[in-house]
Chain A
């Protein structure tokens, strides 16, 4: 541990106060503004609300169809998370435990697509969807499942990459023991590796869920009024009459609290995975 002289206590105290303020100030504005009457947020800013009200939390569902957007977001994000994790578990197991021609090429492809800008995939996917619709009548553009597929562009490579790291950290002797007991490689994966890696798998699923929940670029193009997700829907609180800032802040809190809580609970696993990936 770093040696610290006495005066460093003061440095630490001042520094930590600065960081706490940096984080808390916007949170304070969010939380208080969400409970302010409309006149407070449409005139000069005030630190202390002139009155506290829970009205904005009730109004957010009426001003725009927030409930529908919420359901859309839940369905899209959980389907994307589930699909990418299930597919990634098998792929990551193959990469971690087998040696086969093309293994290196596949890993490099997966890893490199992670750094590609989303805009690169957005334009072609949009056109492909339009074409599929015309050729087969299957509507992907504007449908929730179509959006799920576009979310695989970032959640699948991430899930594979993280799970390879987790599986590599599980001693090979564990699944070998299962093989000796007569299980096949797939049995060893499902009965030994998956249970041991479960915290990591859950963490990856949550991460995929949260990133899909926050996604704006694809959602802004690939959704219609019926399939719109929260990030795009929240923009609708600004009307020509002005912005209902108290409702915007209330809605932001409502969509943030569940995912932020889940994320904070699981951050330990994420650190392990990320640093394991970083060092190797």
Chain B
């Protein structure tokens, strides 16, 4: 390399970087090509598909699929028709599922992080143990839960009915109304360690003097948590909540592995719903329209969340 990039003064300035666009683009090229291949082109094709009558007759020759205009979108959002009503119901179920999992995971993660905040014997061991549900491959963990939730051979019913005598009813956990409860609990079990990991890291960044100052001012443990811990965890929590929400909202593994081929309608999450609308009935046009709508919905939610949290943060400063 002949020419030396930038002057020292320019490089020292905050936010400054080497001004060699040519080399930068060269370094970026492989990523750019792959991004194009796996994200941008598929997205464009997806939008194109959503305007086509892309049924099973056109899978092999999809570019010949007839133009459908907005018909797929109309079918998807028409809540008076069976397809639209099912999509809307699936959306509500997914929203409820994601919110419950985020709240549950955050709470469990926060309490666990609080309990392990002080150095103590076996802290490292417990910390590692608590992370195991998150470290297991998701499908392996969910298969284990599928076994535990079986009506007759499962551990959960055995525990509730035979050991604890809480109920006499050997319930179906993977069918009917209880399936929603089951999937929320399984998902919280998988996700709370991630919240624990992030909150624990966030807690370690809180300066000790803040607690000392609060203690000198006479704040008890409850007040210290409310006035020091929670406000200091705010930035980490906001990102954590957004990431967890998007993960659970788009969750496919948990419902697909927990329920197998037949998802109960009470736990019909949106990813599985679109998957089945597309690959079971081979209506790719409609499936794509649903995917595009889902994406728009998520973008709106995220933008709203970011706007809301950044405004509040600015007001607080």
Residues of A within 8 A of B (CB): 1-5, 8, 11-12, 15-16, 19-20, 22-27, 29-30, 33, 41-47, 87-88, 90-91, 93-95, 97-101, 103, 106, 109-110, 113, 115-125, 127-128, 130-131, 134, 149-150, 152-153, 156, 160, 172, 176, 179, 183-187, 210, 213-214, 216-217, 220-221, 230-231, 234-235, 238, 245, 248-249, 252-253, 255-256, 259-260, 263-264, 267, 270-272, 274-275, 278-279
Known: A90-B31, A124-B42; 9 extra A-B contacts, CB below 8 A, are A3-B221, A25-B155, A45-B158, A87-B34, A90-B27, A185-B20, A271-B198, A278-B240, A279-B236
Residue contact B302 to A124, C-beta cutoff 8 Å: no
Interface SS majority for chain B? helix
Residue in B closest to A216 when the chains form the complex, CB atoms: B253
Tell me whether B96 is interfacial, beta carbon within 8 Å: no
Which chain A residues lie closer than 8 Å to B171 at the CB level? none
Residue contact A19 to B256, C-beta cutoff 8 Å: no
Which chain B residues lie closer than 8 Å to A128 at the CB level? 41-42, 45
Provide the bound-state CA to CA distance between A271 and B19, in Å.
Answer: 32
Residue contact B11 to A149, C-beta cutoff 8 Å: no
Provide the bound-state CA to CA distance between A249 and B136, in Å.
Answer: 13
Selected from A134, A214, A272, the residue in CB contact (under 8 A) with B139 is A214
Provide the bound-state CA to CA distance between A90 and B41, in Å.
Answer: 22
Residue contact A94 to B27, C-beta cutoff 8 Å: yes
Which chain B residues lie closer than 8 Å to A2 at the CB level? 114, 117-118, 211, 221, 224-225, 228-229
Can you sample 24 A-B contacts with CB below 8 Å?
A2-B221, A2-B228, A3-B219, A5-B220, A16-B115, A22-B189, A23-B129, A23-B133, A44-B162, A88-B31, A90-B31, A100-B24, A118-B250, A118-B252, A119-B294, A120-B42, A185-B1, A185-B23, A210-B137, A216-B256, A217-B256, A245-B153, A256-B140, A264-B131
Known: A45-B155, A115-B302, A235-B260. A263 touches B17 (CB 8 A): no
Chain A: minimal CB distance from B58 (Å): 10
Provide the bound-state CA to CA distance between A152 and B275, in Å.
Answer: 20
Tell me whether B143 is interfacial, beta carbon within 8 Å: yes
Known: A99-B17, A217-B253. A44 touches B211 (CB 8 A): no
Which chain A residues lie closer than 8 Å to B291 at the CB level? 117, 119-120, 123
Provide the bound-state CA to CA distance between A234 and B250, in Å.
Answer: 22
Provide the bound-state CA to CA distance between A134 and B16, in Å.
Answer: 49
Selected from B15, B250, B288, the residue in CB contact (under 8 A) with A117 is B250
Residue contact A124 to B288, C-beta cutoff 8 Å: yes
Of B59-67, B70-78, B307-315, the one touching chain A: B59-67
Selected from B111, B136, B252, the residue in CB contact (under 8 A) with A119 is B252
Which chain B residues lie closer than 8 Å to A231 at the CB level? 137, 139, 253, 257
Provide the bound-state CA to CA distance between A128 and B46, in Å.
Answer: 10
Chain B: minimal CB distance from A92 (Å): 9
Known: A23-B132, A26-B144, A275-B236. A45 touches B154 (CB 8 A): yes
> Could you mark each residue 266-308 of chain B with 1 if its beta carbon is under 8 Å from any beta carbon of chain A, else 0?
0000110011001100001001100110110010001000000
Residue contact B225 to A120, C-beta cutoff 8 Å: no
Tell me whether B166 is interfacial, beta carbon within 8 Å: no
Tell me whether B82 is interfacial, beta carbon within 8 Å: no
Residue in A closest to B200 when the chains form the complex, CB atoms: A271
- Among all A-B residue pairs, the 7 with the closest Cβ atoms: A184-B1, A91-B31, A99-B17, A98-B24, A124-B45, A124-B42, A100-B21
Which chain A residues lie closer than 8 Å to B43 at the CB level? 120-121, 124
Tell me whether B181 is interfacial, beta carbon within 8 Å: no
Residue contact A91 to B130, C-beta cutoff 8 Å: no
Provide the bound-state CA to CA distance between A220 and B140, in Å.
Answer: 15
Selected from B131, B279, B284, the residue in CB contact (under 8 A) with A267 is B131
Residue contact A119 to B275, C-beta cutoff 8 Å: yes
Residue in A closest to B214 when the chains form the complex, CB atoms: A3
List the count of A-B residue pairs having beta carbons below 8 Å apart: 312
Residue in B closest to A86 when the chains form the complex, CB atoms: B30
Provide the bound-state CA to CA distance between A216 and B270, in Å.
Answer: 15
Residue contact A252 to B246, C-beta cutoff 8 Å: no
Which chain B residues lie closer than 8 Å to A217 at the CB level? 252-253, 256, 271, 275
> Could you mark each residue 165-203 of chain B with 1 if its beta carbon is under 8 Å from any beta carbon of chain A, else 0?
000000000000000000000000100000001101110
Which chain A residues lie closer than 8 Å to B37 at the CB level? 149, 152
Provide the bound-state CA to CA distance between A8 and B117, in Å.
Answer: 12
Chain A: minimal CB distance from B93 (Å): 15
Known: A29-B155, A100-B21, A279-B236. A213 touches B137 (CB 8 A): yes
> Could you mark each residue 252-267 of chain B with 1 if its beta carbon is under 8 Å from any beta carbon of chain A, else 0?
1100110010000000
Residue contact B21 to A98, C-beta cutoff 8 Å: yes
Tell me whether B145 is interfacial, beta carbon within 8 Å: yes
Which chain A residues lie closer than 8 Å to B253 at the CB level? 214, 216-217, 231
Residue contact B116 to A252, C-beta cutoff 8 Å: no
Residue in A closest to B228 when the chains form the complex, CB atoms: A2
Which chain A residues lie closer than 8 Å to B279 at the CB level? 221
Chain A: minimal CB distance from B268 (Å): 14
Residue in A closest to B19 when the chains form the complex, CB atoms: A99
Which chain B residues lie closer than 8 Å to A27 at the CB level? 132
Tell me whether B18 is interfacial, beta carbon within 8 Å: yes
Which chain B residues lie closer than 8 Å to A235 at the CB level? 257, 260
Chain A: minimal CB distance from B134 (Å): 8
